[in-house]
Amino acid sequence: MGIRNLCRTLFILVVALVPVSSLAGEGGKEADGYVDNERQTCLMCHNTPAVKGVLETPHFMSGDPASPGERQGCQSCHGPASEHVASPMQVKPMGFGADSEIPVEAQNTVCLDCHESGDRNDWHASTHAAAGVACADCHSVHEPRQKALNRNAQAGICFDCHLDKRQALRRRSHHPIEEGLVGCADCHNPHGGSGPGQLQAVSVNDPCTICHAEKRGPFLWEHPPVADDCTNCHDPHGSVHPDLLVQRPPFLCQQCHSESFHPGTLRSGTGLPGASPDNKILGGACTNCHSQVHGSNHPSGTVLSR
């Protein structure tokens, strides 16, 4: 069976399962079982700074009818508490995070009941959802200073799993992420996105040209790998080469250019000072002349030098 036939078959299967899935939920909230005056009731036992921090967060913003604090209070997220109050050790309220016995999907449903919109539209189809990531793995809703929502500190959350990216940011050339000026979420939507790599935008180049709009074009003389995908030449997370390049010129350029004369010529230590200095390897190498590698709008710029 070819992949097209397989896809077609699976598409039919997936669509057919939609009505079945509506019967397979984790169970909705109970309509009753809520205790009154819950904030005081809960705080009688759960009176630690780690718990009470939530009172300082937008979830308990007074006067906002949409905030959980103004609805059922703690029970808005943790579920009806009357049985727990009656038998504190036997009946546990809904818990969140890695230590919770509640399946991740059920935990996330609580958050998505209010937050499944806007930038979180695609959560259900996101890489993180497929990987079984819980909202509480990144968001500490009881913390007044949520790292995940703070550009200066957000990368620390991402690095808990994306260990290789933490390493990449300590290379010679990197975006100022560790410096707290750019956040992972400036480019990525951890809740899922329409583009590759859970990007905020619909293509790889779009987030790059938000800050680097001068490279957006269209140009008279386009450079195909630039128009194709910025990551053909750049590693946005960090590189041992200058300008986030995946390889340094001239070798970067020679990955695609092998012509008579200088493009195909081998560059090596013979071009260093003391031997026969070669401007194709020193300074900016190829960009000493072809400085308009992202595109040129000059009528004589056909070789991207004007």
Interacting positions 105-134 with other proteins (CB under 8 A) = 105, 109, 116-118, 121-122, 124-125, 129-132
Tell me which of 7, 45, 86, 91 binds other proteins, using CB under 8 A.
Answer: 7
Q: Least distance (Å) from other proteins to the CB of residue 86?
A: 28
Tell me which of 33, 93, 97, 284 binds other proteins, using CB under 8 A.
Answer: 284
Nearer to other proteins, 84 or 294 (CB): 294
Q: Least distance (Å) from other proteins to the CB of residue 155?
A: 11
Return the CA Rg of the chain. 27
| Cα 79 to Cα 233: distance, rounded to the nearest angstrom | 51
Nearer to other proteins, 85 or 289 (CB): 289
279 binding other proteins? (CB under 8 A)? yes
The footprint of other proteins on residues 45-104 (CB under 8 A) is: 56-58, 61, 63-64, 66, 103
Tell me which of 1, 5, 22, 89 binds other proteins, using CB under 8 A.
Answer: 22
Residue among 134, 126, 48 at smallest CA distance from 98: 134
The footprint of other proteins on residues 219-278 (CB under 8 A) is: 219-222, 224-225, 227-229, 232, 240-241, 246-248, 251, 254-262, 264-266, 268-270, 272-275, 277-278
43 binding other proteins? (CB under 8 A)? no
200 binding other proteins? (CB under 8 A)? no
Tell me which of 25, 88, 95, 197 binds other proteins, using CB under 8 A.
Answer: 25
Binding mask 159-198 vs other proteins (x if CB under 8 A, - otherwise)? Answer: ----xx-xxx-xxx---x-xxxx------------x----
Contacts of 248 (CB under 8 A, 6+ apart): 241, 242, 285
Place of tokens 């209010």: 114
Number of chain positions touching other proteins (CB under 8 A)? 132
Neighbours of 226 (CB within 10 A): 20
| Tokens encoding 265 | 């010529």
Nearer to other proteins, 7 or 86 (CB): 7
146 binding other proteins? (CB under 8 A)? yes
